Structure 1
Amino acid sequence: MHVVATAGHVDHGKSSLVRALTGTDPDRLAEEKRRGLTIDLGFAWAQVPGAGTVAFVDVPGHASFVPTMLAGVGPVPVALLVVAADGGWMPQSAEHLAALDALGVRHGLLVVTRADLADPAPALAAARAEVAATSLGEVPAAVCSTVTGAGLDEVRRALAGVLAAVPAPDAAAPVRLWVDRAFTIRGAGTVVTGTLGAGALRTGDELELATAAGARRVRVRGLQSLERERTEVGAVARVAVNLRGVERGEVARGDALLTPGWSVRTDVVDVRCPGAARRPGELPAQLVVHAGSAAVPARPRPLGADGDDLLVRLRLDAPLPLVLGDRLLLRDPARHLVLGAGVVLDVRPPALRRRGAAAARLADLRDLHGEPDEASELRRRRVVRGAQLRAMGVPVRSVPVAGDWHTAPGLPEQLGERLAALVAAHDAADPLHPGVPLEEARRALGLPERSLVQVVVARAAARAALRVAEGRVVAGAATEQLPARVARAVEAVLADVSAQPFAAPDAERLRELGLGRAELAAAVRAGRLERVAEGVVLAPGALRRAAVELARLPQPFTASEARRALGTSRRVALPLLQALDAARLTARDTDDRRRVLAGTGAAGGPGSPPPRR
């Protein structure tokens, strides 16, 4: 199927031409028939020789209904521009053509109607000159009369030729169906219609319904195309979608049905306005942005010129589902004037809060023209999820560095140098706490997730000798070194316990040596002391040696028997026994006595290798 939208001045015969080509009156409302004026979008279709099925979206031509006209033209790739021989080129002819140009429509047919009422040559010549200066370029043309039927076959042949040149749609593309009508059918529920420009719809599909109020998941209950029930409809097509569980008041023209995760609902976009820099002063404080069938008020903020183009930030009154490269039509409703196009450059732009941010943003956008490019996006965003890139319309071909995270080429290596300097500065300032906590490193590097710090460490390991230990990024030998003062104090503790290995120094002795909580923790991390409890430290391997000594007692044994066997005080014995339990070297019986567990290696004697803690 092909879908074609009409365009042209009011009362120039658009609906009459559609009726003559299809045999169906596209004006469906009683008010339209009473006034002889198209008010809302009309739809009709026919078999066109050489083109197959062609569906027509007939739009109103009156100035008051330009937003409705744009809702019909926006999603349609081919235009049928109609000019009356007895009317010639008129204001709405120009505005409709400006809209087609802004939307980037490149396929069209110029038809001069009412050839039975006036010489069509002047109107044809004037229209051709106007159209040639737009995105449509040199289009085929035909002359006809819908009253006499003269020239209608020529219109059909010319239309078939235009449609033959239209590129085939991408059947595998994600769906973005802009809603142009929503209504209720008794027994079926809510139905929406639109032009499917790419992808395919199937009954049972789960889609996302994007509205001004938010987005929600919906399921396709049924499909129709050209009043026939279908289980699947592929682009390009006019389609009616019956939605399960959606009330009529929850959906309206301008909403969209989307493949989940393949667009970004955004109310702030940066756009390039081709040629706008040559027309200073045309950008009003408030304008209307047209995208698909949607029309949303917006406030523009010019960022600056790039040659003949103007780069602009648009703040929309309601979010729209957009991707990079979308063409937005910008219209001044106060002057009833189509200002031109805005090509979407960024659907997730950064905030402009600091002085000079707009100028910096202008420089950042200068090389962008709306063609989605992964390398460019990675350079600008540094770190981004692949799902976010795909939602922005960017094809993702690189390999993620962690999870779904992608980075700019060389970024982990650059950050590795910064991280090495950060660790070195931290260790110099606080040698008792070597290494930088992962969370602190993440914030310092501006990374969104700790897993990315691990990537930076891995990439920098060979050059910067970094590693992750106990939740901290440390330099290679950081955990094996102690400040000289602390090292001397630790040696004094080891000398104290050399004769009585389980007689831990008391708090007064530790204070005398200058070993506070931080110093003791550093010594334990370095493997120079073994922590039994808060303020109770022994030589490394003390727990294993204690188990060996206790294994020589009759099993089970009491705490008092253990204290005497170890030659220590109650202050040390009780937490030591608890530590042995926790290390599964001993087990506590119901009568509060303990036994050394078999298979712990305790029977191996004092020479058994001590566990690292």
Structure 2
Amino acid sequence: MEPDRFAEEKRRGMTIDLGYAWTRVGEGPGATVLAFVDVPGHERFIGSMLAGLGPAPAVMFVVAADEGWRRQSEEHLAAVDALGLTRGLLVVTRSDLADPGPALAEAQEHLAASSLGTVDGVAVSGATGAGLDELRRALVRLTATLPSPRTDGRVRLWVDRSFTIRGAGTVVTGTLGAGTLTVGDTLALGDREVTVRGLQSLGDDAGAVPAVARVAVNLRGTDVAEVGRGDALLTPGAWAWTGVVDVRVRPHQGETADLPSELVAHLGTAAVPVRLRPLGGAMVRLTLHEPLPVEPGDRLVLRDPGRHAVGAAAVVLDAAPPALTRRGAAASRARDLAHADDPAAVLADRVRRTGAVRAADLVAAGVPTQDASRVRTVGDWLVDPATWDRWRAGLVAAVDEQARTTPLDPRLTADAARRRLALPDRALLAPLVEAAGLAYADGRVSRPDAGNDLGPAEAGLVKLEAHLAADPFAAPERPELDDWGLGVPELAAAERVGRVVRLAPDMVLLPTGPAQAMRTLAALPQPFTTSEARQALGTTRRVAIPLLEHLDRRGWTVRVDGGHRRVKGR
């Protein structure tokens, strides 16, 4: 395949823009399909080179036998090293024009000092075909060393090309590094959603394309002017866009302090101007000219556009860093970031700042949640251990205060507990109650030994219970209740703990009273009058009428007309 697409490239024999090619090594189901992104070498096109290199999982590094190691080789290796690529293959070409040995040895020495380390080297000639069979075998060995890609979960496809096909519309291409694309998928493009109309991978139509793969995506209802290199197709709602990131910087040459304050950051196929604010040591805050979908662990190349050169490598440590508002905040932040290579420390730091956060929100913000060993997992929430301990102590104190100040109502309502502790979700209360050794029933929190005792009102309540046990429908009147020290607050408290049922604010029966009444009413000829019910229950109209209305509200009795009721179902 000829990856150079433009007439100028063919005329000058020099790659100017990204080119694309693929091949199949071997036959049958065991064949290896290889896709290549051909990147330009000249320093004036380093931006395009980085767009092709950014999403790639491995690199085939080419040096000419008759030219050896060149300045553009150094720039390419600096980019490879900045991106932290660890898998590659060295190819010395034009071996028919010069002895490939010196070029091979020199290049391997340079590569060994980079993230690639020691790699296989192959000498070939495109003119004679010498070494091409060994090159194919070496490429197959290289692909066998690549880690298994993640084919589920969220997608981030960096677009490296967009064009229009007559009858199909807009098509974009990119290297899918993780996840799976499927025809019919809805993806986010900037602030709007687009639909995948069709998919191709290496020239073949596909219903779904899993990573890692070169993929062409036909977008429905999207003009070609609305999407281009540097854009990203994303799983909707799964990525947080950020304009500020904290990174660890490794300058290509010199010290961090020597870096310019303005550089261009390359991520995927995107290139965005950034402003650098040193925090201390190798830690730097980058303010992006425009936001990007970034996650911790992303590797950036910081390019110096004035020198047409790679200035530094950067690893994103935090994609949603805190504001630096206090004196000494930058230095303190640098110390915090010193442990950011530890995923558990990164997660714990983010959770610590907010106290508690939903795991899904962290994933959307690009914070990996797999290692939650330093935070507390409570359902869908991740909670800072110190915050959890503070909540637990606060809940115990709130319950004890409720019992002390309101002995008739010693149980704290769930809503009051949530407000008191400023819990972000009521779902956190039940596990918090358990951790605090408290009791939680009927939407209220109390000490386990709180029981149903009403404190000062207990003696009067015992007399009330004895009275109703002897005559279930003889609800005491106000003078008797006053003699027993049972006002409306005391009766309400007794109802809350299940000791009585209130028919009116100061009219009560035992909790068994309504069911006992139903057994009596069900034995009457249906329908029955209020007078017949009163006589059967052996009570007064003062009690019978609110009792019947109570049974109506429960749905146990049904009004037939103005003077009659019947037991439901009879």
How far does the alpha carbon of each residue in 1:239-294 deviate from its partner, in whole angstroms, 9 at most, with x for none? 32334454434432223345678765555544333479982424554443322212
How far does the alpha carbon of each residue in 1:23-64 deviate from its partner, in whole angstroms, 9 at most, with x for none? x2x331245456665432122345679996544322233444
How far does the alpha carbon of each residue in 1:335-365 deviate from its partner, in whole angstroms, 9 at most, with x for none? 5442322223344656667777666655554
Which has the higher mean CA deviation after the structures are superposed, 70-79 or 360-369? 360-369
Q: Which amino acid aligns with 1:57?
A: V
Identity %: 47
SS in 1 for 2:257: coil
Q: Report if the CA contact (8 A) 2:183-2:207 is conserved.
A: no
**Alignment partner for residue 151 of structure 2, among 157, 163, 173?**
173
Runs of 5+ consecutive residues of structure 1 not aligned to the other structure: 1-21, 600-613
Aligned to 2:16: 39
1:45-194 → structure 2 map (5 Å cutoff): 45-46=22-23, 54-82=34-62, 92-110=72-90, 129-139=109-119, 149=127, 153-154=130-131, 157=134, 160-161=137-138, 164-166=141-143, 167-170=145-148, 173-174=151-152, 176-194=156-174
Aligned to 2:190: 212
Counterpart CA distance in 1 for 2:406 and 2:49 is 69
Q: Which amino acid aligns with 1:170?
A: S
TM-superposed CA distance for 1:590, in Å, is 0.8
Aligned CA distance change for structure 1 residues 347 and 354 (closer, same or farther; 3 Å): same
Q: Report if the CA contact (8 A) 1:82-1:111 is conserved.
A: yes
Alignment of 1:293 onto 2:273: no
Which has the higher mean CA deviation after the structures are superposed, 395-404 or 54-63? 395-404
TM-superposed CA distance for 1:72, in Å, is 0.5
Q: Report if the CA contact (8 A) 1:401-1:455 is conserved.
A: no
What is the total number of aligned residue pairs between the two structures? 555
Q: Which amino acid aligns with 1:180?
A: D
Which has the higher mean CA deviation after the structures are superposed, 257-266 or 179-188? 257-266
Counterpart CA distance in 2 for 1:354 and 1:592 is 77
Runs of 5+ consecutive residues of structure 2 not aligned to the other structure: none
1:81-480 → structure 2 map (5 Å cutoff): 81-82=61-62, 92-110=72-90, 129-139=109-119, 149=127, 153-154=130-131, 157=134, 160-161=137-138, 164-166=141-143, 167-170=145-148, 173-174=151-152, 176-198=156-178, 204-207=182-185, 209-214=187-192, 216=193, 218-219=195-196, 221-225=198-202, 227-230=203-206, 235-257=211-233, 266-274=242-250, 279-305=255-281, 310-333=282-305, 336-347=308-319, 362-369=334-341, 377=347, 381=351, 392=366, 394=368, 396=370, 404=380, 419-442=395-418, 448-459=424-435, 464=437, 466-478=438-450, 480=452
TM-superposed CA distance for 1:69, in Å, is 1.3
Alignment of 1:504 onto 2:504: no
Q: Report if the CA contact (8 A) 1:288-1:295 is conserved.
A: yes
Q: Which amino acid aligns with 1:470?
A: D
TM-superposed CA distance for 1:591, in Å, is 2.9
Aligned CA distance change for structure 1 residues 300 and 427 (closer, same or farther; 3 Å): farther
Alignment of 1:482 onto 2:458: no
Q: Report if the CA contact (8 A) 1:195-1:239 is conserved.
A: yes
Q: Report if the CA contact (8 A) 2:475-2:507 is conserved.
A: no
Aligned CA distance change for structure 1 residues 318 and 207 (closer, same or farther; 3 Å): farther
Aligned to 1:16: none
Counterpart CA distance in 2 for 1:249 and 1:512 is 84
How far does the alpha carbon of each residue in 1:551-588 deviate from its partner, in whole angstroms, 9 at most, with x for none? 89987565577679866575x65434311322455442
Q: Report if the CA contact (8 A) 2:251-2:259 is conserved.
A: no
SS in 2 for 1:170: coil
SS in 1 for 2:56: coil
SS in 1 for 2:217: strand
TM-superposed CA distance for 1:211, in Å, is 3.0
TM-superposed CA distance for 1:73, in Å, is 0.8
Q: Which amino acid aligns with 2:130?
A: D
Q: Which amino acid aligns with 1:190?
A: T
| TM-score, normalised by the number of residues in structure 1 | 0.71
Q: Report if the CA contact (8 A) 2:20-2:37 is conserved.
A: yes
Aligned to 1:10: none
TM-superposed CA distance for 1:193, in Å, is 1.5
TM-superposed CA distance for 1:104, in Å, is 1.1
Aligned CA distance change for structure 1 residues 427 and 254 (closer, same or farther; 3 Å): farther
Counterpart CA distance in 1 for 2:33 and 2:522 is 93
| TM-score, normalised by the number of residues in structure 2 | 0.76
* Alignment root-mean-square deviation, CA: 5.0
Q: Report if the CA contact (8 A) 2:245-2:319 is conserved.
A: yes
Q: Report if the CA contact (8 A) 1:267-1:319 is conserved.
A: yes
Aligned CA distance change for structure 1 residues 576 and 83 (closer, same or farther; 3 Å): same
Q: Which amino acid aligns with 2:18?
A: L
Aligned CA distance change for structure 1 residues 246 and 527 (closer, same or farther; 3 Å): same
Q: Which amino acid aligns with 2:53?
A: V
